[in-house]
Amino acid sequence: MTVPQQLQTARFETLATTLLGDRFADDAKRTGFAKFVMVIAGSLFIALAAQIAVPMYPVPVTGQTLAILLIGMTYGPRMAGSTVALYLFEGAMGLPVFANGAAGALYMFGPTGGYLAGFLMAAVTIGFLAERGMGRSIISTAVAMLIGTAVIYVFGVAWLSMMIGFEKAVIHGVIPFLYGDALKAVIAAGLMPFAWKIIKKLGNDSGDNA
């Protein structure tokens, strides 16, 4: 196997799998239940973050993108994908989980529809990157966050372009959010390495007390 192939098949523990492994390594039922609880809690975290919103046209600036990308990097692709899918399902069923308490299938097919689809793809993408070892240092976290943000922009602009045209979609759907997304990347770049230090310390402390 060549070096590039080894890198492609390499799997690293995420924060979630490391934490669960430390606590429930020999108990599959408790691990499964813990993952179930984490998925629900993650969807609620995204919903709460979505309420931190600054009104913009046609798409508001919210905290949900930061929450989604952090969940992707913390949970990995499968759990993160399940979490965001649950969040979107909650919104489709009428729960007020989207920005400014919005909800419903009609809202999901409005100007924000592409961004909502991008949330799911970005969570899976950044979770995939986390399983390849990204998110443990400031630089790799920032790079992963920017990649995840780019995925959201691609889906968001593609959808918005069908409504207002490509140029306006970029002007209204990307440019106003660049500074905020850069700030989110900086916040995540500080949080993730710190979280890894805490998890490793807890793991060492558990080993010392065993």
- For the chain, what is the HEC assignment? CCHHHHHHHCCCCCHHHHHHHHHHCCCHHHHHHHHHHHHHHHHHHHHHHHCCEECCCCCCEECHHHHHHHHHHHHCHHHHHHHHHHHHHHHHCCCCCCHHHCCCHHHHCCCCHHHHHHHHHHHHHHHHHHCCCCCCCHHHHHHHHHHHHHHHHHHHHHHHHHHHCHHHHHHHHCHHHHHHHHHHHHHHHHHHHHHHHHHHHHHHHHHHHC
Residue 3: pLDDT band (50, 70, 90) is very low
Which is higher by pLDDT, 31 or 161?
Answer: 161
Q: What is the mean pLDDT of the chain?
A: 86
The stretch 12-17 carries a mean pLDDT of 89
Residue 97: pLDDT over 50: yes
**169-181 pLDDT, tens digit each:** 999 989 988 888 8
- Give the integer Cα–Cα distance in Å for 103 and 3: 47
pTM score, whole prediction? 0.86
Residue 7: pLDDT band (50, 70, 90) is very low
Q: Give me the percent of the chain exceeding a pLDDT of 90.
A: 58
* Amino acid at position 96, single letter: P
Q: 173 and 157 in contact (C-beta within 8 Å)?
A: yes
Please identify which residue in the block is written with the tokens 């913009």: 56
Least Cα distance to 115 among 165, 161, 180 occurs for 161
pLDDT given at position 89: 97
Q: Give me the percent of the chain exceeding a pLDDT of 70.
A: 85
**153-166 pLDDT, tens digit each:** 999 999 999 999 99
Residue 207: pLDDT over 60: no
**40-82 pLDDT, tens digit each:** 999 999 999 999 876 665 666 778 899 999 999 999 999 999 9
